[in-house]
Amino acid sequence: MQANNGIKSPSFFLRRKLTSIIELMHMGGGYFLIAMMLITTANVAGRYFATRPIGGSYELTGLLLVCLAASAFPVPQIGKGHVRVTFLLDRLPPWFQACLNGISSLVGFAGTSIICWRMFLRAKEYLFLLRGGLTEDLSIPYYPFMFILSFGFGLLALMLLLQSFHSFSTLVKK
């Protein structure tokens, strides 16, 4: 997205930075997946060969799954890869398509912002709990994983907001 005089707009740089953060987080998600695979493999091997499964492996796998999901939420939004039904939208005039895309991105931004905000508040609540807020077997606190999940939703919300601005800016240019 460039201005007419060849100068790139601030939203271009923001989108580029946001995309690089999302891609970095996505690479981290691959490591979470590898860790989940290794824990599950070691647990199964320990159960069948040594009759000793790894204690707390279900908890670790579940917590790593939260990290994996948080790192994967915003990735499809970079290329608008989330599921969209466009058979009707494609038949509308381009200015109306841009308007509907902007509105739908704003609605998505509102929804993911609420999820991000509520998850952040819940994580803060668990951070300051004197009792509870820990996993059952390994006593791992929940709050870091809730902050990670909130961060993932926050990145998705920012990407949706930028796409909404982009859609509405195409309306203004026309």
* The total number of residues written for the chain in this structure: 174
* Residue 5 located in a structural domain: no
**Which residues, 6 or more positions from 55, have their beta carbon under 8 angstroms from its beta carbon?**
137, 138
**pLDDT tens digits along 15-53:** 888 889 999 998 999 999 999 999 999 999 998 888 888
Half-sphere exposure of 26 (CA within 13 A, CB side): 15
* Residue 32 located in a structural domain: yes
- Full residue range of the structural domain in which residue 54 is found: 10-173
* Residue 4 located in a structural domain: no
Asked if residue 112 lies in contact with residue 150, where contact means CB atoms within 8 angstroms, the answer is no
Does the pLDDT at position 7 exceed 70?
A: no
Written as one letter, the residue type at 43 is N
Structural domains counted in the chain? 1
Predicted structure pTM score? 0.82
Confidence of residue 81 (pLDDT cuts 50, 70, 90): low
Confidence of residue 117 (pLDDT cuts 50, 70, 90): very high
Averaged confidence pLDDT in the chain:
87
Per residue, the 3-state secondary structure of the chain, as one string, reads CECCCCCECHHHHHHHHHHHHHHHHHHHHHHHHHHHHHHHHHHHHHHHHCCCCCCCHHHHHHHHHHHHHHHHCCHHHHCCCCCCCCCCHHHCCHHHHHHHHHHHHHHHHHHHHHHHHHHHHHHHHHHCCCCCCECCCCCCECHHHHHHHHHHHHHHHHHHHHHHHHHHHHHHHC
* Residue 44 located in a structural domain: yes
* Residue 1 located in a structural domain: no
